[in-house]
């Protein structure tokens, strides 16, 4: 099966869109418009890329959630990374996404242009190798991302510990998805259903979402990232809403098992422990972050390197926080497209390719620009 | 913070353009430079010459489908070719880092010799500098080239209704380099498309002398080239992703790491605009040439003062292809 052809089949899409229209018509008007939140940044991208909004009936709104790791990372994390990059002998390694994110006065990109050692990589294991090859340097990996990426960072930390690579550490900014969904369900955003992140779910499985359906009566469908995946997930959520039976369903069965990836979960638990952390836009969410456990403290940047980040200043006018909660859209932002563009981003939602603002800017329907 | 040069200034996108337009052109301006064409047109008594230069800083120096030597010859030839010129003479300046392997240098110079011989051009002058260890990354090459117009060709403004053609699969070069750098898919047979295009251009101009304009989509890919070409035309371009030739390996790499193939560099492809009624015969001519075997008509120009590039997805959605705004990858060509 060719995943790039089969899951983008127009005829199948037409059938699903017809099903979505029928389902909407059988939903009581009082529930309309139905508001579904795609939590994951990759879903936001796919929805924009394939013009899915343009295919959907009006009484159905898609809101973008806080599932872009760069977007929900608070400014102080970037300021910490910048401060680390400024220390002679420190090599800051990172996934590419963080490279251009502006902190209070600088970014990793600017620091590198000024001579700092900042390396972009695709795997944290690569950072361990750099540390091993450069024993005189302190190599810091910027650990951001959700459950999908955390096991790889845990493996890197275990590998460094096992091989005695003492100059490798991680600045953990990792975040967990289920506590954020709880915060959204309890917060001011009216959501009728969550399109749940497919790749996070490959690790955590279906069970961690059950409380949302049970306690908050909001349906959850774990979705893949091809256009047909997303349309089918929307259809599944509408059926739940129509029947008044919120549940956790798995559309992405080709990758997600109900129990998830047990080895990955074990790896996360062995190296990290939950901690309360702040999310951009959502504030502090209990148990939604991860701290490196005492056993691996030698590889925790915050406990091994002394550094003094500059005071964090939030950008005036930037409404990324409200956008991340689904309260506002990029078009509500006075900076969007004029003062904040991918070339000169003000807020993180414009920096990350998965960010709601970047996706909206790039894939904006022609009439709106 | 003082403004500094970042990698994005060299990526062929928005910042490269700003650097050229705000620093180089105002300070160095003259009638010829200010046109910002791929090659400068020089009027000499009795004829015209085309002149261009390009620098090459690729890592790794040797890669599937080529090496920095071949690349530095083809890159300059292609700038001349898409300006409608037959390349004649090339200069070659090398900046070599202390400690560089002699054997490797010879291998690369052999490659330059082979490529120029195949292309029928001569390296007629050159220069070598050696810098301290750490002051350069192995080997940098600058080439310049002089060519003469083919069939007295001159480019012409793009008009609404013009068809847009691309000479083959896009993104091969940058994807191939990325694959080697990141050690992806060892069984994959993806090579750089690095090739000299002047033969193809001669074939094209014989079939369709009224080609409006040709460009080689190197850094920044066809996304950057189409955006540059749209500026000042009072046209927008609509292209369809179904029609853009792309090999499965490139598609796969893009899906995997989130690159946009529209912005991937090519080193042996060209994009051209032609009046609609000549498009089909031009396409057939391109396909008859080995370097144009996968050529395709990918879209057209439409009258629209917004001067944008729209990509129609096979799925039905449409998106704007903006000018690329930074590096997808450090240093590709």
Contacts of residue A154, Cβ cutoff 8 Å, sequence gap at least 6: A267, A268, A270, A271, A272
Other CB atoms within a 10 A radius of the CB of residue B186 amount to 6
Most A CBs within 10 Å, among B262, B319, B321, B323, to test the A interface: B319
Total residue length of chain B = 333
Is A342 in contact with B6 (Cβ distance < 8 A)? no
- Identify which of B317, B318, B326 has the shortest CB distance to residue A52: B317
Question: Percent of chain A beyond pLDDT 90?
Answer: 64
For B93, the enclosing helix (H) or strand (E) is: strand B85-97
Judged by DSSP in three states, B38 sits in coil
Residue A235 exposure: Cα atoms within 13 Å on the Cβ side: 20
**Does the beta carbon of B325 lie under 8 angstroms from any beta carbon of chain A?**
yes
Find chain A residues with C-beta within 8 A of B263's C-beta. Answer: none
> Is residue A2, in this structure, part of any structural domain at all?
no
- Nearest CA distance, B323 vs chain A (angstrom): 9
Give B256 or B306, the one with higher predicted confidence: B306
Nearest chain B residue to A42 by CA: give it. B258
Q: Kindly list the residues from chain A whose CB atom is less than 8 angstroms away from the CB atom of residue B315.
A: 8, 10, 13, 50-51, 227
pLDDT at residue B41 is higher than 50: yes
Give the mean pLDDT of chain B.
92
Averaged pLDDT score across all residues of chain A: 91
- Residue A235 near residue A23 (C-beta atoms within 8 A): yes
Q: How far is B320 from chain A (nearest CA, A)?
A: 6
Q: Find the CATH number of the domain harbouring A181.
A: 3.40.50.11750
By the 10 Å C-beta count (0-12 exposed, 13-18 middle, 19+ buried), A274 is classed as: middle
Residue A357 has pLDDT above 60, yes or no: yes
Of all residues in chain A, the one with the smallest CA distance to B13 is A343
Same domain, A134 and A283: yes
Judged by CB atoms within 8 Å, which residues 7-46 of B form the interface with A? 7-8, 14-15
Residue of B nearest to A109 (CA): B6
Ranking A54-68, A83-97, A233-247, A255-269 by mean pLDDT, the lowest is: A54-68
* pLDDT score at B327: 66
Residue A7 lies in a domain: no
Q: Is residue A313 in a domain? A: no
Cβ of residue B320 closer than 8 Å to a chain A Cβ:
yes
Q: What is the pLDDT of residues B64-110, one digit of tens each?
A: 999 999 999 999 999 999 999 999 999 999 999 999 999 999 999 99
* pLDDT over 90 (residue A31): no
For residues B104 and B72, the answer to whether their CB atoms sit within 8 Å is no
Provide the chain B residues 171-210 that lie in CB contact (below 8 A) with chain A.
Answer: 182
Residues B171-186: what's their mean pLDDT?
87
Task: Give the domain extent around A119.
Answer: 71-176+261-304
| Section B18-42 average pLDDT | 91
Which stretch of DSSP H or E encloses residue B115?
helix B102-119
Domains of chain B listed by start with CATH number: 37-149 (3.30.1330.10), 163-320 (3.90.650.10)
List, as ranges, residues 105-144 from B with C-beta within 8 Å of A.
Answer: none
Residue A310, domain member (yes or no)? no
A32/chain B closest Cα distance in angstroms:
25
Q: Which residue of chain B comes nearest to A108, CA vs CA?
A: B6
Residues near A237 by beta carbon (within 8 Å), at least 6 away in sequence: A36, A192, A193, A195, A219, A221
A332: phi then psi, degrees, rounded to nearest 5: -80, -10
CB contact at 8 A, A66 and A325? yes
Q: What is the pLDDT of residues B227-243, one digit of tens each?
A: 999 999 999 999 998 89
pLDDT digits (tens, 9 = 90+) for B266-324: 999 999 999 999 999 999 999 999 999 999 999 999 999 999 999 988 777 778 888 88
Interchain CB distance below 8 Å, B316 and A109 = no
Q: Is A4 on the interface with B (CB under 8 A)?
A: yes
A364, pLDDT greater than 70:
no
Backbone phi, then psi, for A17, in 5-degree steps? -65, -40
A98 and A228 assigned to the same domain: no
In a domain, A255, yes or no: no
Q: Model confidence over A313-332: pLDDT tens digits?
A: 877 888 888 888 888 889 89
Q: Report pLDDT for A368.
A: 41
Residues from chain B that touch A342, judged by Cβ atoms under 8 A, are 322, 325-326
Domain count across chain A:
3
Residue A151 and residue A297 share a domain: yes
Q: Is the pLDDT of residue A194 over 60?
A: yes
The CA distance from B46 to B43, in Å, is: 8
A285 — pLDDT class (breaks 50, 70, 90):
very high
Cα separation of B311 and B222, whole Å?
12
Question: In terms of domains, do A246 and A282 share one?
Answer: no
A144 neighbors A73 (Cβ within 8 angstroms) = yes
Dig out the tokens for A368 from the structure. 């709106």
The answer to whether the CB atoms of A114 and B4 lie below 8 A apart is yes
Residues A270 and A245 in one domain: no
**Residue A311 falls within a domain, yes or no?**
no
Residue B333 pLDDT exceeds 50: no
Helix (H, G, I), strand (E, B) or coil at B233: coil
Residues A119 and A88 occupy one common structural domain: yes
Q: Are residues A276 and A162 in the same domain?
A: yes
Shared domain check, A63 and A81:
no
For residues A33 and A44, membership in a common domain is answered with yes
CB distance A26 to A20 below 8 Å: no
**One domain for residues A150 and A161:** yes
Residues of B in contact with A115 (CB under 8 A): none
Mean pLDDT of A278-295: 93
What digits encode the pLDDT tens for the residues B7-19? 888 888 888 888 9
Residue A50 has pLDDT above 90, yes or no: no
Taking CB atoms and an 8 Å limit, are A363 and B320 in contact across chains? yes
Mean pLDDT of A236-255: 96
B318 and chain A: CB distance < 8 Å anywhere? yes
Q: What is the DSSP letter of B95?
A: E
Q: Which of B318, B293, B92 is nearest to A49 (CA)?
A: B318
Q: Which residue of B has its CA nearest to A126?
A: B182
Same domain? For A204 and A334 the reply is no
Model confidence pLDDT, tens digit, residues A128-142: 999 999 999 999 999
Whether A362 contacts chain B with CB within 8 A = yes
User: If DSSP states are collapsed to H, E and C, what string results for chain A?
Assistant: CCHHHHCCCHHHHHHHHHHHHHHHHCCCHHHCCEEEEEEEHHHHHHHHHCCHHHHCCCCEEEEEEEECHHHHCCHHHHHHHHHHHCCCCEEEEECHHHCCCCCCCCCHHHHHHCCCEEEECCCHHHHHHHHHHCCCCEEEEEECCCCCCHHHHHHHHHHHHHHCCCCEEEEECCECHHHHHHHHHHCCCCCCEEEEEHHHHHHHCCHHHHHHHHHHCCEEEEECCCHHHHHHHHHHHHHHHHHCCCCEEECCCCCCCCCCCHHHHHHHHHHEEEEEEEECCCEEEEEEEEEECHHHHHHEHHHHCCCCCCCCCCCCCCCHHHHHCCCCCHHHCCCECCCECCCCCCCHHHHCCCCHHHHHHHHCCHHHC
Q: Do A266 and A159 have their domain in common?
A: yes
Are residues B301 and B226 in contact, defined by beta-carbon separation less than 8 angstroms? no
Partner B, chain A 312-341, Cβ-Cβ below 8 Å: 341
Q: Which CATH number characterizes residue A115's domain?
A: 3.40.50.11740
Region B187-215 average pLDDT: 95
d(C-alpha A269, C-alpha A248), whole Å: 24
**Hey, of A51, A230, A368, which one would you mutate to test binding to chain B, going by the most B CBs within 10 A of its CB?**
A51
Mean pLDDT of A252-258: 96
**pLDDT-derived band at A3, boundaries 50, 70, 90:** low
Q: Helix B172-182 and helix B248-257: axis angle, to 10°?
A: 60
The torsion angle over the Cα atoms of residues A209, A214, A219 and A225, rounded to 10 degrees, is 10
ipTM of the complex: 0.72
| Best residue of A44, A62, A363, A365 to probe chain B, by most B CBs closer than 10 Å | A363
| List of chain B residues whose C-beta atoms are within 8 Å of the C-beta of residue A100 | 326
Residue of A nearest to B236 (CA): A366
Whole-number pLDDT of residue A183: 92
Instruction: Determine, for residues B315 and A362 on separate chains, whether the beta-carbon distance falls below 8 Å.
Output: no
pLDDT of residue B332: 32
d(CA A187, CA A33): 19
- Residue B329: pLDDT band with limits 50, 70, 90: very low
Nearest-angstrom CA–CA distance, B153 and A112: 45
Select the residue of A4, A122, A366 nearest B255 (Cβ to Cβ): A4
Q: Quote the minimal CA–CA distance from A341 to chain B in Å.
A: 9
Residue A200 has pLDDT above 70, yes or no: yes
Of A48, A50, A110, the CB nearest to B1: A110
Residue A369: pLDDT band with limits 50, 70, 90: very low
């Amino acid at each position: 099966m060719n995943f790039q052809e089969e899951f983008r089949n127009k005829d199948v899409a037409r059938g699903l869109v017809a099903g979505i229209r029928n389902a909407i018509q059988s939903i009581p008007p009082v529930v309309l418009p139905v508001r579904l939140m795609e939590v994951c940044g990759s879903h936001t991208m796919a929805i924009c890329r394939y013009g899915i909004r343009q295919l959907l009936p009006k009484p159905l709104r898609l809101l973008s959630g806080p599932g872009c790791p760069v977007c929900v990372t608070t400014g102080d994390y970037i300021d910490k990374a910048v401060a680390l990059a400024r220390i002679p002998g420190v090599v800051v390694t990172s996934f590419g996404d963080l490279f251009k994110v502006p902190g209070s006065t600088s970014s990793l990109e600017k620091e590198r242009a000024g001579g700092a050692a900042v390396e972009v990589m695709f795997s944290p294991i690569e950072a361990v190798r750099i540390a091993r090859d450069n024993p005189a340097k302190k190599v810091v990996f910027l650990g951001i991302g959700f459950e999908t990426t955390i096991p790889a960072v845990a493996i890197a930390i275990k590998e460094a510990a096992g091989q005695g690579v003492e100059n490798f550490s991680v600045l953990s900014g990792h975040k967990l998805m289920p506590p954020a969904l709880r915060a959204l369900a309890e917060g001011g955003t009216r959501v009728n259903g969550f399109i749940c992140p497919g790749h996070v779910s490959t690790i955590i499985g279906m069970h961690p979402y059950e409380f949302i359906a049970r306690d908050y009566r909001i349906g959850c469908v774990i979705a893949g990232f091809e256009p047909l995946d997303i349309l089918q997930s929307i259809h599944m959520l509408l059926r739940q809403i129509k029947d008044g039976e919120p549940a956790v369903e798995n559309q992405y069965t080709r990758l997600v098992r109900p129990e998830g990836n047990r080895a990955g979960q074990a790896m996360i638990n062995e190296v990290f422990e939950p901690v309360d952390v702040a999310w951009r836009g959502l504030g502090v969410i209990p148990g939604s972050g991860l701290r490196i456990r005492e056993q691996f403290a030698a590889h925790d940047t915050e406990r091994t390197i002394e550094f003094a980040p500059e005071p964090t200043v939030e950008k005036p006018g930037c409404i990324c926080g409200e956008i991340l909660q689904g309260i506002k859209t990029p078009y509500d932002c006075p900076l969007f497209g004029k003062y904040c563009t991918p070339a000169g981003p003000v807020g993180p939602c414009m920096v990350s390719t998965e960010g709601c603002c970047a996706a909206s800017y790039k894939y904006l329907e022609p009439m709106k620009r | 913070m003082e403004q500094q040069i970042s990698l994005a200034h060299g990526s062929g996108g928005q910042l490269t353009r700003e650097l050229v337009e705000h620093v180089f052109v105002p300070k160095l301006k003259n009638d010829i430079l200010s046109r910002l064409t791929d090659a400068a047109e020089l009027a000499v008594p009795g004829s015209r010459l085309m002149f261009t230069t390009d620098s090459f800083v690729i890592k790794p120096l040797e890669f599937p489908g080529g090496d920095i030597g071949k690349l530095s010859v083809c890159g300059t030839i292609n700038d001349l070719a898409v300006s409608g010129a037959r390349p004649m003479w090339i200069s070659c300046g090398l900046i070599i880092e202390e400690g560089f392997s002699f054997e490797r240098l010879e291998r690369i110079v052999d490659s330059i010799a082979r490529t120029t011989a195949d292309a029928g051009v001569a390296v007629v002058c050159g220069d070598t500098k050696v810098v301290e260890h750490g002051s350069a990354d192995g080997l940098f090459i600058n080439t310049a080239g002089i060519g003469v117009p083919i069939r007295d060709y001159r480019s012409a403004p793009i008009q609404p209704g013009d068809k847009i053609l691309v000479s083959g699969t896009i993104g091969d070069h940058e994807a191939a380099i990325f694959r080697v750098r990141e050690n992806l898919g060892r069984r994959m047979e993806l090579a750089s498309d690095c090739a000299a295009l002047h033969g193809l251009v001669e074939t094209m101009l014989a079939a369709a002398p009224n080609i409006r304009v040709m460009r080689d989509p190197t850094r920044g890919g066809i996304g950057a080239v189409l955006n540059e070409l749209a500026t000042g035309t009072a046209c927008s371009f609509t292209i369809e992703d179904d029609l853009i030739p792309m090999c499965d390996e490139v598609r796969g790499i893009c899906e995997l790491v989130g690159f946009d193939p529209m912005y991937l560099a090519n080193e042996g492809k060209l994009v051209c605009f032609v009046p609609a009624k000549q498009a089909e015969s031009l396409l057939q001519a391109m396909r008859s040439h080995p370097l144009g075997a996968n050529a395709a008509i990918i879209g057209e120009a439409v009258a629209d003062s917004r001067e944008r590039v729209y990509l129609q997805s096979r799925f039905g959605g449409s998106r704007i292809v903006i000018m690329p705004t930074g590096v997808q990858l450090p240093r590709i060509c």
